[in-house]
Amino acid sequence: MPDRKTALLDSAERAARSRGFDGFSYADMARDVGIRTASIHYHFPSKADLSAALMSRYHESFAEICAQIDARHGTASARLIALIDCYRLAHGDAQRVCLCVAFSISRESLSTQVAGQLGAFRTMMRDWIEAVFRLAQTDGTIADVADPAAEAAATLALLEGAQLSARAENAPARFDDALRSMLSRAS
Amino acid sequence: MPDRKTALLDSAERAARSRGFDGFSYADMARDVGIRTASIHYHFPSKADLSAALMSRYHESFAEICAQIDARHGTASARLIALIDCYRLAHGDAQRVCLCVAFSISRESLSTQVAGQLGAFRTMMRDWIEAVFRLAQTDGTIADVADPAAEAAATLALLEGAQLSARAENAPARFDDALRSMLSRAS
DNA sequence: GTCTATAAGAGGATAGAC
DNA sequence: GTCTATCCTCTTATAGAC
């Protein structure tokens, strides 16, 4: 039984990730949660406030996920596979993309604060992935790692691009098609 | 001196690729081209018509580009590098993404016709890239090609994800960061 | 082909009652 | 906290004059 504010964030996140930042409205959320649009402004005065709260929660959530992966998995390959599983699960059979992807295209519609949060999220993820590839150079569980920073940038782009591909074609299998080569390096 | 219809398509494409499908309006195009919004409806009765024309032109344009790459470059690595160069150029220092990327996120806002065109474009590109990787298995100019279909899906996702990364962070270098590992396989 | 005028609706947002 | 009522702006689209 989440409180109303959480229910609103959940609704907004679902909508943003399936229709983009410019593709959902307070009216959608109101219908979804069962209150009037005016009431939403009590919790989130403006859409900029709402999206900042959305990004903030998303950032914390992924920081937690990465920490848990580190705690549960000791090898680079296991950590990479766990992250890929997480992205696959999150995009729910091609129905949603990562919030980061959803906001990236609408960058010009975002407040400067949210644009900053978007950059911070991407930096966090890239740094974490880079650490995984650096570990791989030591433990040898991922093949042919020459440049961990480049691998990290490529992996983040690949994960997001794979979600986008699957979403564009409404074909969940596209996600796994795009990740197949990367997964084969990690086994 | 392009005709007005072409000028409108150019304006719409620029806008869609920098702000997304839901992020541009007839008013923007009218300001851009120097006519009134009502006049645009003479050329494109609805936004669905406009976006169909946009996708159609985009599809033909890339089919032509791929054909020219085939004509000019004989090796798999040269063809792959040429495609990457084309995507880098097209995204103009992180200012724009591919039309396909721009439309993918707003998939639910698109007419069924345009959604179909989106799928057809992606299939064309994936097939062409797959042929490049099949050639690589013969001419050996790209390292470690095990599964051309998987490589094609990954490459398309990587190219689009790289554009998205650069756009999200307003950092042109992100595109090359993400492509570095792939380029090092092709040299 | 392009214009003015206008419709009809959706969007974000506020004021004030309860 | 939530409501009704309301505002203003933007958006797509149409009618009809020129």
**What value does the mean pLDDT take over residues A145-162?**
98
The answer to whether B179 and B158 have CB atoms below 8 angstroms apart is yes
Separation of alpha carbons A128 and B162, rounded Å: 18
Q: A78 in a domain, yes or no?
A: yes
Mean pLDDT, chain B, integer: 97
Residues A139-150 have pLDDT tens digits of: 999 999 999 999
Picking from B97, B96, B117, the residue whose alpha carbon sits closest to that of residue B107 is B117
Q: A82 in a domain, yes or no?
A: yes
Separation of alpha carbons A148 and A146, rounded Å: 7
Residues B81-106 have pLDDT tens digits of: 999 999 999 999 999 999 999 999 89
Q: A176 in a domain, yes or no?
A: yes
Torsion angles phi and psi, residue B179, rounded to 5: -90, -10
The answer to whether B160 and B98 have CB atoms below 8 angstroms apart is yes
Confidence of residue B2 (pLDDT cuts 50, 70, 90): confident
Write out which nucleotides of chain C lie closer than 7 A to a protein Cβ.
Answer: 1-6, 10-16
Q: Is the CB of A6 under 7 A from strand C?
A: no
Separation of alpha carbons A45 and A41, rounded Å: 4
Q: B160 in a domain, yes or no?
A: yes
**What value does the mean pLDDT take over residues B133-161?**
98
The answer to whether B51 and B116 have CB atoms below 8 angstroms apart is no
The answer to whether B148 and B137 have CB atoms below 8 angstroms apart is yes
Q: Which positions in chain A touch B102 (Cβ < 8 Å)?
A: 105
Residues A86-137 have pLDDT tens digits of: 999 999 999 999 999 999 989 999 999 999 999 999 999 999 999 999 999 9
Token readout for B52 is 């169909």
**What value does the mean pLDDT take over residues A29-37?**
98
Q: A64 in a domain, yes or no?
A: yes
Task: Count Cα atoms within 13 angstroms, Cβ side, for B152.
Answer: 19
Separation of alpha carbons B175 and B84, rounded Å: 10
What integer pLDDT is reported at residue A49 of this predicted model?
Answer: 98
Domain harbouring A85, CATH code: 1.10.357.10
Token readout for B61 is 């344009």
Confidence of residue B136 (pLDDT cuts 50, 70, 90): very high
Token readout for B150 is 């998987």
**What value does the mean pLDDT take over residues A6-34?**
96
Residues whose beta carbon sits under 7 Å from strand D: A 4, 34-39, 42-43; B 24-28, 37-38, 41, 45-48
Residues A117-128 have pLDDT tens digits of: 999 999 999 999
Q: A60 in a domain, yes or no?
A: yes
Mean pLDDT, chain A, integer: 97
Confidence of residue A2 (pLDDT cuts 50, 70, 90): confident
Most distant CA pair in chain B: distance in Å? 56
Separation of alpha carbons B47 and B27, rounded Å: 12
Write out which nucleotides of chain D lie closer than 7 A to a protein Cβ.
Answer: 1-6, 10-16
Between positions 22 and 81 of A, the ones with CB within 8 A of B are 22-23
Q: How many domains does chain A have?
A: 1
Residues B165-187 have pLDDT tens digits of: 999 999 999 999 999 999 999 98
What integer pLDDT is reported at residue B183 of this predicted model?
Answer: 98
What integer pLDDT is reported at residue B11 of this predicted model?
Answer: 98
3-class secondary structure per residue, B94-117: CCCCCHHHHHHHCHHHCCHHHHHH
Q: A44 in a domain, yes or no?
A: no
What integer pLDDT is reported at residue A1 of this predicted model?
Answer: 55
Separation of alpha carbons A36 and A30, rounded Å: 5
Separation of alpha carbons B154 and A174, rounded Å: 9
Q: A36 in a domain, yes or no?
A: no
Residues A45-81 have pLDDT tens digits of: 999 999 999 999 999 999 999 999 999 999 999 999 9
Range in A1-10, B24-33, B61-70 with the lowest mean pLDDT: A1-10
Interchain contact, A164 vs B119, CB within 8 Å: no
Confidence of residue B1 (pLDDT cuts 50, 70, 90): low
Q: Is the dihedral of CA B41, B44, B50, B52 positive or negative?
A: positive
Range of the domain at A122: 51-185
Residues B39-79 have pLDDT tens digits of: 999 999 999 999 999 999 999 999 999 999 999 999 999 99
Torsion angles phi and psi, residue A20, rounded to 5: 90, 165
Interchain contact, B164 vs A103, CB within 8 Å: no
User: What 8-state DSSP symbol labels residue B186?
Assistant: T
